[in-house]
Amino acid sequence: MIVVLVMAATLWGIGAAMNTPRRARWTMIGVLFAGVLAIQFILPDGHPLREGTGSDPRLWLLLGGLGALVFAYRKGLMALRARTNPVSIDPPAQAPGTFAEVELERYARHIVLREIGGPGQKALKTAKILVIGAGGLGSPVLLYLAAAGVGTIGVIDDDSVENTNLQRQVVHTDTRIGTPKVFSAETAIKAQNPFVTVRPYHRRLTADIVQDLFAEYDIVLDGTDNSDTRYLVNATCVALGKPLVAAALTQFEGQISVYDPANDAPCYACVFPKAPDPALAPSCAEAGVLGPLPGVVGAMMAVETVKLITGAGAPLHGQMLIYDALYGESRKIALKRDPNCSVCGTL
């Protein structure tokens, strides 16, 4: 019996290491369990395989029954949650750029703002925004852009929801652990605003797809913590003339800027010509991060995006806003283009 439990733990561990969804891992465990039952019932008493897997099928039937009870309880709990939080009905089809009456009411607090008004809200509805990463920064960005009425939101991420994400990644829920993050985010966005079109891309952002993907969108938002991805995103945005709203976090501090050489603002490589030493820039998993901090900085990313779309105010072109949550302080520093930048220096 111990051998079977070790095999089950090994299968689960391999699946976790390969980022296999929980459903697939449970399926593997179920296949193993079915195989053990077959051995118990088919092979005669005293057979080495039967002896090695417990020798008595009643014990396995008992374990299977307990597992079935837990599964049924969890499914019933999820059904009750679904009844108390019903999924919104898809809205009726509309002509592009037009608003249903319920939308006008939904966005009324925007429309009365002089800097946004009806034209700005229409610009939001026709905008197409791509968010890189559905994690700590991507969570508030996606929810606030959807709430603001951005018409099309793309989100790309190859990761799945884990329990350790839930301390800060508010777009995900406990019941969606094991679900690819982009599909979990899609569920949350559609529940928040059914008038938004969501395009989930469950894959890693790579050089072979980045040009074609970015070409479909007006603005790109980068909330990743991977240096290679940041430089790839920046170079592609520069090549296509797309504004890039990018932010980063570490422990209690966050920073945000709008990188846009097409509007005489520096690109990311102007400010950070080289990736920092990994020892000096540990990930959130290594260094930790304050749970609400991504919400604060992610909301700032959403604000900058709305400003870019509607023309309201002054976006953070040529400026970096740094927020220190530990001491409740924020400051701005001026950024300048580098004429010798390897990415945008020829523009």
Closest CA to 323 of 222, 247, 255: 255
CA–CA separation, 273 vs 234, rounded Å?
11
- Cβ atoms of 25 and 15 within 8 Å: the answer is yes
DSSP H or E stretch at residue 307: helix 293-310
CA–CA separation, 116 vs 310, rounded Å?
6
CA–CA separation, 168 vs 197, rounded Å?
25
Beta bridge partners of 261: none
**What is the model's pLDDT at position 297?**
96
- Cβ atoms of 305 and 147 within 8 Å: the answer is no
* In the block, residue with structure tokens 């939080």: 85
**What is the model's pLDDT at position 91?**
57
Single pTM value for the model: 0.72
CA–CA separation, 311 vs 146, rounded Å?
18
Cα angle 216, 269, 341; round to 5: 110
The SS3 of residue 250 is strand
CA–CA separation, 59 vs 269, rounded Å?
62
Domains of the chain, CATH where assigned: 2-84 (no CATH), 119-334 (3.40.50.720)
Give how far Cα 118 sits from Cα of 68, 111, 217, 310, Å: 55, 5, 22, 10
Residues 6+ apart with CB under 8 A from 36: 4, 53, 54, 60
Closest CA to 323 of 293, 287, 280: 293
Determine whether 217 is exposed, middle or buried from the number of CB atoms within 10 Å of its CB (0-12, 13-18, 19+).
Answer: buried
| pLDDT in single tens digits along all 347 residues of the chain | 566 676 767 766 776 666 666 666 777 777 777 777 777 677 777 677 666 666 666 776 777 777 777 777 777 766 665 554 444 445 555 666 678 889 999 999 999 999 999 999 999 999 999 999 999 999 999 999 999 999 999 999 999 999 999 999 999 999 999 999 999 999 999 999 999 999 999 999 999 999 999 999 999 999 898 889 999 999 999 999 999 999 999 899 999 999 999 999 999 999 999 887 766 666 667 778 898 999 999 999 999 999 999 999 999 999 999 999 999 999 999 999 999 999 998 76
Backbone dihedral angles phi then psi of residue 246, each to the nearest 5 degrees = -130, 145
The SS3 of residue 157 is coil
* In the block, residue with structure tokens 């700032």: 300
Strand order of the sheet with strand 197-201?
197-201, 152-156, 128-132, 219-222, 244-250, 253-259, 319-324, 329-334
Tokens of 319: 């400026």
